[in-house]
Amino acid sequence: LELALAGRHQQENAATAVAALSHIRSDPRALRIQPRAQMITASAIQLGLQKTQWPGRCSWIKLAGHAMGTTSDIPLLVDGAHNESAAVSLMNYIDSIRTDEPIVFVIALSHSPPKTPLTVLRPMLTRIRRTDKVLPVQFSTPVAGMPWISNVPSIDIQAAVIACGLSRNQIVDSHIATTPTLQEGLQIAMQAQKWGFAVVTGSLYLVADAYRLAAE
């Protein structure tokens, strides 16, 4: 089977989906509830896996260079890894594709107790190389229809970075007084260092900002 989604964890997810569909289309109880399930063919499942798109899950997008003040497009790996298991899956994918070029991890988190920045980011930060950088940013607020959603302060993300054993010079512009937006942060990162690509992660709200920025 050919799978469009990136990452080994998506192979496991696809296997679960195929097993469930195989059962549903042949189980008498399931067919009594939904007789049309028997029309799900093996070729339909195969085609579905080939064409499935899941924005914000190990997805690649490009920002137009002119929008960022550069002459070349900017590749972004976007993944809303907002919990420990998702962070592990993201890093497994990154480790499978990365080269010697440094990576900048652009991170924003939504305030969501009892999760803490350290518990969410530890699986990611403990596997970052010494040549990589971390850039705390903020996603756009207010979030439509959810005024209670707020950003975790940049200082708390920086504290998690230090707690995971990274040096302070791995935090891009840790001295700035205000937390940059995604666009501002990427412009700062481009000026600070040449990198292979940027990873936009930590919050699906930040991922949404990345897609909006790419559409401009």
Cα separation of 192 and 169, whole Å? 11
Helix, strand counts (H, E) of the chain: 8, 5
Alpha-carbon span 115 to 98, nearest angstrom? 29
pLDDT at 190: 80
The pair of three-digit structure tokens given for residue 88, joined into one six-digit string: 């592990």
Half-sphere exposure of 176 (CA within 13 A, CB side): 16
pLDDT bin (cut points 50, 70, 90) of residue 188 is confident
Dump pLDDT digits (tens) for 93-151.
999 999 999 999 999 999 998 899 999 999 999 999 999 999 999 999 999 899 999 99
